Amino acid sequence: MGDLRLAAVCLAMLLGAAGAAWADETVQPPAAKPMSREDLQRGSPTLRRWISDPPDLLNDIENGQAFPTRLGIGLVFTPSRSGEAAYTVSLQDVVLGGTRLSFSGDFTRSGTSNQAWGAEARYYVAPLGSYLNVAPQVGYRNIVIDGTTRNGLEAGAKFLFALAPRAADIAVSQSWVLPDRGGSIGRTVLEVGYTLSPVLRLTAVVQWINSSLRSDTSFGVNFELIGF
């Protein structure tokens, strides 16, 4: 019996040693080779650009405009005047370099005696790259309504919501023209803009004008050049 037990122990030791040797010889899957910096750069143009010219995010928020400077021409229709059509030309939000101050101007004329033109300066309270912004504005406006001219200082504010910086935004401005006679004229403008390409933008405009002479609501579409 002692010999049998000794033989069994020896056999178990031999089998254990053979199993360990087999496990050591088993082929292990190769470890994944880490990507080198050169591989990462080749696969990412954005990373290459950031490495060569690191972005200044704080400067982009402070000075990068969420809204573009734009030069536009468009058509305006006024249902309250039997669908009277007019054309409009505008230059909007020319920002004085390094500041939050911008300048705008526009001219609108129909085939009759009705026309309007004006210019204003705006100062944006929040950084220009902000999604939400408000800008007090002051300027001068001349409005001809049914052959009667009203002109004078215009004051108000513009509220801007950038849905996507320089791509889509909604703006509402409320102002009052303070002529030397005839009472003040209220002007509310709603603009919804969408960028079609790096150089072209489409803006829908709704304007309400309320004066002692009459009240009108007009609808317009502007095609605007941007990126210049």
Q: State pLDDT tens for residues 52-98.
A: 666 555 655 555 789 999 999 999 999 988 878 999 999 999 999 88
Cα dihedral across residues 38, 40, 42, 46: positive or negative: negative
Task: Flag whether pLDDT at 184 surpasses 60.
Answer: yes
3 vs 157 pLDDT, higher one? 157
Model pLDDT, residue 126: 96
Task: Flag whether pLDDT at 23 surpasses 60.
Answer: no
DSSP code string of 56-80 = -HHHHHHHS-SS--EEEEEEEEEGG
For residue 19, name the pLDDT band (cuts at 50, 70, 90).
low
Model pLDDT, residue 60: 56
Model pLDDT, residue 61: 55
What is the CATH number assigned to the segment(s) 66-225? 2.40.128.130
- The pLDDT tens digits for 94-152 are 999 889 999 999 999 987 667 899 999 999 999 999 999 999 999 999 998 888 899 99
Model pLDDT, residue 83: 78
Which of 158, 217, 222, 159 shows the shortest CA–CA distance to 194? 222
| pTM of this structure | 0.73
Token couple for 186: 């209220």
Q: Are 68 and 91 in contact (CB under 8 A)?
A: no
Which residues have a Cβ under 8 Å from the Cβ of 182 and sit 6 or more positions away? 148, 150, 211, 212, 213
Ranges for all domains in the chain classified under CATH 2.40.128.130? 66-225
DSSP code string of 99-125 = SSEEEEEEEEEESSS-EEEEEEEEE-S
Task: Flag whether pLDDT at 211 surpasses 60.
Answer: yes
Q: Which residue type occupies 198?
A: P
Least confident of 54-68, 154-168, 185-199: 54-68
Q: Which residue type occupies 36?
A: S
Rounded to the nearest integer, the mean pLDDT of the chain is 83
- The pLDDT tens digits for 31-53 are 555 666 666 656 666 656 666 66
